[in-house]
Structure 1
Amino acid sequence: MNQIFRYVSFILILWATSDQTLRAIEVEQPLPPEVIEAKVRFQSLPEYSEIWGAGGKDTSLKEMVLGKYSDEFTGSINQSEQLLRVDLIYGWTETWALGATIPWKQKKQSTSLTFSGINKTAELQSVEKNVASDSQAGLGDVALWMRYNLSSSYRWLWTLTPKLVFPTGVTGKARGFKPVAIGDGQMDLGLKLQSQWYPPQSEGVLQIASVEGLNQLKGERENLAGEKVSYQPGNSFDMRYGWILEVENFMLGAEFSWFIQAPDALGSESGSTRRLYQWNFELGYGNLTQLEREPLPLPFQVRFGVLRPFMGENVPKTSQYYLSGDVYF
C-alpha cells in the first residue's frame, strides 16, 4: 500500500510541474516478480482546423466532422485534445507481466458555422446543433493486458502482449465520426509484438521494432442527425522502428511510425481510411543505466518528446508534444 501511495504522489508531482503538452517511444523492461513499473505521460494536440484529407491533400476539419453535410455550411471547426495516460505494470513471474492503461482525456471543439443551403430542414437543424462548440473531460477507455517475454538475454528482448480495451469512457454524447465525447463506446481486442536489441559492438544504442493490431468490436452511437445507429471503428495496424542512444544518465531517441485504420462504419454511412506517417524525437534524463552497476532506491527516467507528422490521410497534420516519466518500485 505504501508503494501505491508513493507512485500516486509521483504522478501528481509530475503532472503539476509539467507544461501542458503523443505516444512516447515504448521501451519494455523485463520485470522481476513483485516489481512495479509506473509510467505517466502528459501529451497535447494543439488546436487545429486543417487536416490531410483523401490522397494526402490539405483540407478542412469541417469536412471530416460534417461529412455529407459539409457543403450545407460555411465556416470552420477547430478541435484540440489533451491526454494524461497512466500505465501500471506488475511483474507477475519471470516471464509474465500484468498491466493496466488508464487514460484521462480532454477534448474541445470550437465551431463557427453558417447555413449556406436553400432549405434548412429539421435534419440540418439537428446536424448544426450536434456539432456546436463543446468541451468534455473525463476517464477514457481503460485497457488491461498481459505481456509475455518470448525470448530475452542481455542483448535482446522479444515480447508478445494481448490486450482488452473496455468502454469506460462515457463522458459526453458521441455523435458522428469525430465527436468531442470521451471514449468510443465498444470493446476492442489488441495484440502487439515487440523486439528490442543492442547491435554488435554498439552497447549504448538500443534498437526497437514493433507491430500492433487492434480489432474494434461493434457498438452504437448517434449519427449527426441524432439517430441511434450501429457503430464500428475500423480495425487498425501500427508499425514502428526506432533507436535510443544512452550516454551516462542522458538518452536521445528517434522513431519512425506508420499507422493505418480501415474506414469506420456508422449505420449505412462509411468513413474514410486513415493513414499517418510520422517521426518521434525524444530527449531524456534518468538513472536507469546505473541499475546495471548498483541497486537504486528509486529508478526513474523523465523524457520530453515531439511527434512530427510528415504525411497522411484523414488525420491532423499538427505536431504534438509530450512529457513522460517512468519509475520502478
Structure 2
Amino acid sequence: MYTRNRLRLNKPLLIALKLLIYSLIYYGFRWMLTLLWGEPLPSAAFLLTIVLIVVYRGKLTEMTQKIIDKSFYHKLYRLKKTVRAFNADLNSTIEYDLLLQKSLDFLAQTFSATQYAIYLYKGLGFERLPHNGNSLPPASISPFPAEALQQSPFGRPIQFYQIEALWKEWPAGQPLLAPGYSDKRFAYFLPLKGSNHIIGFLLFHESVNRYLNIPEVKEFLLELFNNTAEVLENAQIHRDIKRKSLESALLLEIIQNITATLHLEEVLSSIVDNLSKLVSFDAAAIFLLNETQGTLQQTVATGYEASLREIVSIK
C-alpha cells in the first residue's frame, strides 16, 4: 500500500510515467487492430485503452509507483552507503586538511556541482571553496561582526533554513546570506556550527528537497553535517595547538643555537632551516641592514641562484 507521502514525493514523475504507459497501451492496441483488420482504427484503440485504464487503474498505478520507488530508493541506498563511509572517515583522523578534503569529496559524490556551494570561515570573513564542475572563482564575504553571529537564530541542532525566510527574519545576517540570496539557484542555507562558533555554511539547490521531504534522510543528513562541523572545529583547534607547539619548539631551538655559537652565519642558517618547517617556500634569504651604506646585505640564502645574491639598496 502506498501512502500519500510517498505519492507526493514523486508525483510529477508518477504522472509522466502514467502518460507514457497509457500511450504505449494505446499504440499497442492500434498495432493489434492493424494486424486483425488491416487498419489501425484509432477510435477503437482509444476506447479499448480507456476501458483497460478504468478496469486496471489501481494495478497500473501500483506498477508505475514500484518502478519509481525502485529507482529512487536505489539512489537512497547509495546515499546512505556514502554517508556511512564518510562518517567513518570523520572518526578516523584529526588532521584538518585531510578532513576538509574528505568533506569536499563527500559533497561531490552526493550532490551535483550546481546543487551546492560551501563557505568556510577564514580570517575575518567567509570564503567560498572551489569544487569540480563549479566554474565560479573563490569569493570572500566582507568581515562579519562576531556579535551578529552570536545573535543568529541558529539553534542546536542545526536545520536546513530557507534562504528567503531567513533573509527577512535575520536582517543583521544579510551580508552572510547575500551569496545565496542573490544566486537564485540556491534555496537552503545550512550553517556548519561547531560547539563554539560557526565555522562555515552550505548553500543547497531546491532540488535537494527530494531528500528533505523524507524525515529519515533529512535527519541523518543533519546529524552528519552537525558532526562534520564539530569534527572540523576540533581539527582546527588541534592544528592551531600543533602549530603553536611547533613554533615554540623551533624558537627554543633558535635560542639554543644563538647561545651555543658566536658564528652569525650559523645562527641565521638555523633560522632559515627552522622556518622551512613552518611554511613552504622555494627560496628564502635573510638580509641585514648596513646603516652606514644604507643597504641590505644578504647574509644567508637558500634556493636562489648565485647570480641573484647581490646587495639590495633601500634608498
Q: Same fold (TM over 0.5)?
A: no
**Per residue, is there more strand in 1 or in 2?**
1
Whose helix proportion is higher, 1 or 2?
2
Q: What is the TM-score of this pair, normalised by structure 2?
A: 0.27
Higher RCO (Cα < 8 Å, 6 or more apart): 1
